[in-house]
Amino acid sequence: MNTESISKNNNTELLREIKEETRKLALMEVCGTHTMAIAKSGIRNLIPPNLKLLSGPGCPVCVTSQGDIDSVIELVKESDIILVTFGDMIRVPGSDSSLQEVRSQGADVRVAYSPLDALEIARKNPGRDVVFLGIGFETTAPLIGATIEEARRQEASNFSVLSLHKLVPPALEVIFSDPDIKVDGLICPGHVSVVIGLEPYKLLAEKYAQPCVITGFENNDIIEGIAMLLLQIRKKEAFAEIQYKRVVKSEGNPVAQQILQSVFKAAGARWRGLGYIPDSGLAIRSEYRSFDAREKFQLPEIEDRPIKGCACGEVLTGKISPHECSLFGRACTPLNPVGPCMVSHEGACAAYYRYSPLKGGKK
Amino acid sequence: MCLGVPGKVTAIKENQMAVADVNGNYVDISIIMTPQVRVGEYVMIHAGFAMQVMGQEEAEESLRLMLELQEIRESYANEHREHFEEQ
């Protein structure tokens, strides 16, 4: 769908309301799927220029720290494991290499759609250790937790998980607390919220006086989500509400929350662009330690070595747009990505490169 | 990455597994997180797991987006074919 088709649908009235906004405001989306959907839809071109849509730390591949990527690459190079992960992760450049490169040198790195596929690989390869590289937010972590529980049920002693999972609310607290980041409202992630529900955003909205709207991914959803945020701002209100009601329930998914609680515990995590945030990651509980790859392989902690010239950190916190990175579209393209925001198809740089590649931002 | 795909549950199997019709493709899914789901109902599926039960209308609405995103990915893959072929 393009801007023309949006204009034709029944959200014309909402668009008119949005266009009436004259104040300089910044709304941040915190989901890679939103980033891609917004870029593709041309919504940026429909809304007035005083209204800025920022991409936040919503792409799990992008926010994985350089040190964590390097330690995974080290693990694969130094052992005879089968590493299984989601697609985008294998192309992310580490400091010296990528999982794709070490695979071309003989390492066994495989891409899976579901963590259950990794468990199946473990069942078929009883003589080898299979490590699933767990990345993702609250949407994905319960699935990995359920897979760990299933691995315990199957007594799959050759299966383990390297948990690099991250939690969205602690990162939002950092964003809201940073005086260099101006955000007036939050387009909250739709599918993370399927699991966590409305409550975490209620706390954030109250603590930081930030309007929060859990928003779906269709163009109409996004338009409506923006209009709902602007309405709160106009009324000088700040509360959490759900636009994406067809999937998100206020209470979230209690079963998924229970799995998260029983398999994982909150732990400090390093985020690209945001640094170390206490209790923003998920570590595997000691009851499941035999499935914890970090413990099983005594994974060393590797310091983050920033990529020279790469501004993914600033892009992920909305401090700059992808166009403002000096590497964008020149040294860094989807064919030769320098940073993860250009690798992941949900990364802000990849979305901008595809849909508004010109420095002016308008296609 | 947090993409959710709607599917219609066509069979419940043992061990909290089920079969879902996702736009004509029949896929095995875990229903451990939606134990209440029944055959004929729709679910939002993420990475092989049903994450939430949905109404039919809502599921059909979401399916439209899924197909649209699939189109993006395919054209993206075509543009960068050499990298994707390696995967």
CATH value at residue A115: 3.40.50.11740
Question: Does residue A177 contact residue A230 with C-beta atoms inside 8 Å?
Answer: no
Quote the domain boundaries for residue A120: 62-167+253-296
Distance CA A277, CA A149 (A): 27
What are the b/e assignments for B12-24, b being 16+ CB within 10 Å?
A: eeeebebbbebee
Tell me if A354 and B76 make a contact (CB, 8 A cut-off): yes
As a whole number of angstroms, the distance between CA A25 and CA A23 comes to: 6
Q: Which of residues 72-91 of A touch B (CB under 8 A)?
A: 86-88, 90-91
Tell me what pLDDT residue A6 has: 40
The verdict on A25 and A76 lying in the same domain is: no
Does any domain span residue A56? no
Instruction: Give the pairing of strands A185-188 and A212-214.
Output: parallel
Residues A142 and A116 both lie in one domain = yes
Whether A337 maps to a domain, the answer reads no
Classify residue A308: in a domain, yes or no. no
Split into its structural domains, chain B has a count of: 1
d(CA A243, CA A33): 16
A148 part of a folded domain? yes
Interface test with chain B among A143, A242, A245, by most B beta carbons within 10 Å: A143
CB A27 within 8 A of CB A210: no
Rounded Cα distance, B73 and A306, in Å: 29
CA A153 to chain centre: 30
The confidence band for B1, taking pLDDT boundaries of 50, 70 and 90, is low
Is A66 in the same domain as A158?
A: yes
Say yes or no to pLDDT of B70 above 80: no
Q: Are A107 and A83 in contact (CB under 8 A)?
A: yes
CB contact under 8 A, A31 and B2: yes
Q: Which residue of B33, B47, B69 is in closest CB contact with A256?
A: B33
> What is this structure's pTM?
0.88
Give the model's pLDDT for residue A356.
78
Say if residue A34 is in the same domain as residue A99: no
Instruction: List per-residue pLDDT tens for chain A, 363 residues long.
Output: 344 334 345 578 888 889 999 999 999 998 888 988 888 888 888 899 999 999 988 888 888 998 999 999 999 998 899 999 988 888 888 888 899 999 999 999 999 999 999 999 999 999 999 999 999 999 999 999 999 999 999 999 999 999 999 999 999 999 999 998 899 999 999 989 999 999 999 999 999 999 999 999 888 899 999 999 999 999 999 999 999 998 999 999 999 999 999 999 999 999 988 889 999 999 999 999 999 999 999 988 898 888 888 898 889 888 899 999 999 999 999 888 888 899 887 889 998 998 876 654 443
Instruction: Please say whether the dihedral angle defined by the alpha carbons of residues A184, A190, A193 and A199, taken in this order, is positive or negative.
Output: positive
- Residue B30 has its nearest CB partner, among A116, A139, A195, at A116
Cα gap A333→A343, rounded to integer Å: 8
- Characterize A115-148 residue by residue with b for buried, 16 or more Cβ atoms within 10 angstroms of its Cβ, and e for exposed: bbbbbbbbeeeeeebbbbbbbbbbbbbbbbbbbb
Give CA–CA dist A7/B52, Å, rounded: 31
Residues A91 and A238 in one domain: no
How is residue A28 written in tokens? 């941040």
The neighbour count for residue A17, using CB atoms within 10 Å, is 16
What is the predicted pLDDT for the residue at B64?
Answer: 75
Residue type, A224: E
Q: Are A71 and A157 within one domain?
A: yes
CB distance A90 to A103 below 8 Å = yes
Predicted local confidence at residue A176, as pLDDT = 92
Domain count across chain A:
2
Which site among A140, A154, A219, A246 would you substitute to test the B interface, given the most B Cβ atoms closer than 10 Å to its Cβ?
A: A246
Residues B55 and B42: beta-carbon distance below 8 Å? yes
Calculate how close chain A gets to B20, using CA atoms only, in Å: 15
A36/B47 Cβ within 8 A: no
Residues A156-185, buried b or exposed e (16+ Cβ, 10 A)?
bebbbbbbbbbbbbbbbbbbbeeeebebbb
Co-location of A182 and A216 in the same domain: yes
CB contact under 8 A, B58 and A32: no
Q: Are residues A85 and A143 in the same domain?
A: yes
| A149 shares a domain with A9 | no
Q: Which residue has the higher pLDDT, B68 or A260?
A: A260
| Mutation to test the B interface, candidates A221, A247, A349, most B Cβ within 10 Å | A247
The amino acid present at B47, given as its one-letter code, is A
Tell me how far apart the alpha carbons of residues A37 and B64 are, in angstroms, rounded to a whole number.
Answer: 13
Nearest to B46 among A1, A36, A191 (CB): A191
Report yes or no on A90 lying in a domain: yes
| pLDDT at residue B75 in the model | 67
Q: How far apart are CA A284 and CA A137, in angstroms?
A: 14
Give yes or no for residue B86 having a pLDDT over 50.
Answer: no
Chains A, B: CB contacts within 8 A come to 122
pLDDT of the residue at A13: 86
pLDDT confidence of residue A293? 97
B42 and B56 in contact (C-beta within 8 Å)? yes
Of A59, A116, A247, the CB nearest to B44: A247
Residues of B in contact with A142 (CB under 8 A): 33, 49
Helix (H, G, I), strand (E, B) or coil at A290: helix
> What is the nearest CA distance from A11 to chain B, expressed in angstroms?
16
CATH number for the domain harbouring residue A221: 3.40.50.11750
User: What is the residue range of B24's domain?
Assistant: 5-86
pLDDT for the residue A36: 86
- Report the amino acid identity of residue B35: P
Is residue A93 located within the same domain as residue A115?
A: yes
A190 touches chain B (CB under 8 A): yes
Question: Are the beta carbons of A192 and B2 separated by less than 8 Å?
Answer: yes
**Residue A59: which of B1, B64, B72 has the nearest Cβ?**
B1
**Strand ranges (E), chain A:** 25-29, 51-55, 82-85, 108-111, 130-134, 159-163, 185-188, 212-214, 240-242, 264-271, 275-284
**C-alpha to C-alpha distance for A361 and B26, rounded to whole angstroms:** 41
Whole-angstrom distance, CA of residue A110 vs CA of residue A108 = 7
Q: Do A220 and A235 sit in the same domain of this protein?
A: yes
| Sign for the pseudo-dihedral over CA of A119, A120, A126, A129 | negative
Nearest CA in chain B to A333: B80
User: What are the chain A neighbours of B2 within 8 Å (beta carbons)?
Assistant: 31-33, 60, 136-137, 139-140, 189-192
Tell me, yes or no, whether A230 lies in a domain: yes
- Residue A254 in contact with partner chain B when CB distance is under 8 A: no
Is the Cβ of A31 closer than 8 Å to some Cβ of chain B? yes
pLDDT of residue A3: 40
pLDDT at A218: 83
CATH number of domain containing B63: 2.30.30.140
Q: Assess if residue A83 is contained within a domain.
A: yes
What per-residue confidence (pLDDT) applies to A301? 85
State what percent of residues in chain B have pLDDT above 90. Answer: 49
Distance CA A325, CA B19 (A): 46
